[in-house]
Amino acid sequence: MADRPDGGGKARSQVHNPTLSRISGIATPGWCLHHPGSPRWGDGDGRARDRTLSCVIQVEELRKTYGRVDALAGVTFAVGTGEFVAVMGPSGSGKSTLLQCAAGLERPTSGRVRLAGVEVGELDETGLAALRRERIGFVFQAYNLLPALDVADNITLPLRLAGRPFERRQAAEAAARVGMADRLTHRPAELSGGQQQRVALARALITTPEVIFADEPTGALDTRSARQVLELLRDLVDRSGQTVVMVTHDPVAASYAHRIVFLADGRLAGQIDAPSPELVAERMTKLGDW
């Protein structure tokens, strides 16, 4: 479990967004976050701007059935641009299935997913592959780095696979964002688990994605490394306006998010804004074993 720094979540005002209100079905769903001082929403001098967040992810009545089991049973929620949302729930609640359907990794049985203005359900396999490659970044519990490639080549691999021209400086810039600028020529075996996960995060950022989906990104890390990765994710949101959706079982990890969405038995079971580890842990005990 990661250590949560003192002070909890950063203060921010809430601005009502009618679009989020229309498609959401949980408590206070129509409130979107406004980040005072964020470069995306301000002019660089730290003054707040009267801006609401547009929706980068919209999920409506999402259902996913495996045989006779409903992994998702009519889930509806939205994520605003520049928002950090954690998804939590007991084992088997559907949280990883929700992430996979929202990211275009699995097709839902029914319902609608709209990501960055694209109707995901209308895409064929080629279109889905292009969407994932060009507009989505992924970070998983397993780092999935290629052992034969050095850090720079692992980071630029998505660009290479997409056939997009790139320069080595792009790898250096992405590595610098995650504190790995001095490890460009190292191979994964020469890195710690936390360093490998930071390389995986840099790889997710190299395509400038609309959203990063992170599935248990700190699950295999020690406390110190987990804290570093979570601080990087939160910093990307606060400083660059990056959108992050993270599945986690760890209340401390979830407390780095702006908002936590809870699932139980494939259905939404509420949410918490500006979460603290204690509040998250208390809420989880009411959802069942986890």
pLDDT at 28: 30
As averages over each run of 10 residues, the pLDDT of the chain (290 residues) reads: 46 34 34 34 32 78 93 93 93 91 94 92 92 91 93 93 86 92 95 93 92 92 91 92 93 93 92 86 71
Total length of the chain: 290
- Which amino acid, residue 257? A
Q: Which pLDDT belongs to residue 31?
A: 35
| Tokens encoding 30 | 């129509």
Phi, psi of 172 (to 5 degrees): -65, -40
- pLDDT of 168 reads 85
* Prediction pTM value: 0.79
| Cα angle: 14, vertex 16, 20; to 5 degrees | 115
Burial class (CB in 10 A: 0-12, 13-18, 19+), 77: buried
Tell me what pLDDT residue 284 has: 79
* DSSP assignment letter at 189: G
3-state secondary structure of 61: strand
CATH level 2 (architecture), domain 55-288 = 3-Layer(aba) Sandwich (3.40)
Q: What are the residue ranges of helices labelled H in 3-45? A: 18-23
Residue spans of beta strands (DSSP E) within 141-247: 211-215, 243-247
State the pLDDT at residue 3. 53
Give the C-alpha distances (Å, rounded to integers) separating 227 from 38, 66, 217. 22, 35, 11
Q: Smallest Cα–Cα separation from 138: which of 68, 205, 77? A: 205
